[in-house]
């Protein structure tokens, strides 16, 4: 399970941890995107207009999310998923079946129960999609 803790307000940073160990820091998040590092590899999130968000790494394209802010279709080499907001949480679905959830713990902390077989950069990207409105 991943956990995000917000630091700062004007240009917030989210510290992402797993089992109490920091695994990434989402820095400089705003409506244009942000960046993070996982295991020494840098990733960038870019907004391409209002309906597409792309994740890239040092090797290029990693994933794309197309949607409207409350519903995203996520595509990557690892597969395709739907990510939808409800009243109190975000739900990750594969072929219509729920496989993960992102929900707030408090005003400055969130938790994500996402499948462990998703690569960590992709799990952080899913977390980004849920956290971006809070940035």
pLDDT tens digits along 16-41: 999 999 999 988 777 778 889 998 89
How do residues 103-134 score in pLDDT, each as one tens digit?
999 988 999 999 999 999 999 999 899 987 65
The CATH number corresponding to 2-134 among 1.10.3470, 2.40.160, 2.60.40, 3.40.50 equals: 2.40.160
pTM: predicted TM-score of the whole model, two decimal places? 0.91
Is residue 135 pLDDT above 70, yes or no?
Answer: no
pLDDT at 119: 93
Average pLDDT of span 73-100: 94
Cβ atoms < 10 Å from Cβ of 134: 14
Nearby residues of 80 by Cβ (< 8 Å), 6 or more positions away: 73, 74, 94
pLDDT at 63: 97
pLDDT at 57: 95
The full 3-state SS of 7-50, as one line of letters, equals ECCCCCEEEEEECCEEEEEEEEEECCEEEEEECCEEEEEEECCC
User: Which pLDDT belongs to residue 12?
Assistant: 77
Q: Where are the domains of the chain?
A: 2-134
Determine the pLDDT at residue 133.
Answer: 65
Residue 72 confidence (pLDDT): 96
Q: Is the model more confident about 98 or about 28? A: 98
Q: Is the pLDDT of residue 94 over 90?
A: yes
């Amino acid at each position: 399970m991943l956990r995000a803790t917000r630091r700062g307000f004007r240009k917030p940073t989210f510290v992402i941890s797993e089992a109490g160990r920091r695994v990434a820091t989402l820095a400089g998040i705003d409506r244009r995107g942000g960046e993070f590092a996982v295991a020494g590899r840098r990733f960038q999130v870019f907004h391409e207009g209002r309906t597409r968000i792309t994740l890239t790494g040092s090797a290029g394209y990693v994933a794309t999310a197309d949607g409207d802010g409350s519903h995203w279709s996520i595509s990557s080499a690892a597969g395709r998923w739907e990510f939808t907001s409800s009243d109190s949480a975000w739900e990750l679905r594969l072929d219509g079946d729920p496989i993960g959830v992102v929900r707030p713990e408090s005003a400055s902390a969130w938790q994500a129960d996402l499948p462990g077989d998703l690569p960590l950069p992709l799990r952080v990207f899913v977390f980004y999609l849920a956290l971006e409105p809070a940035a």
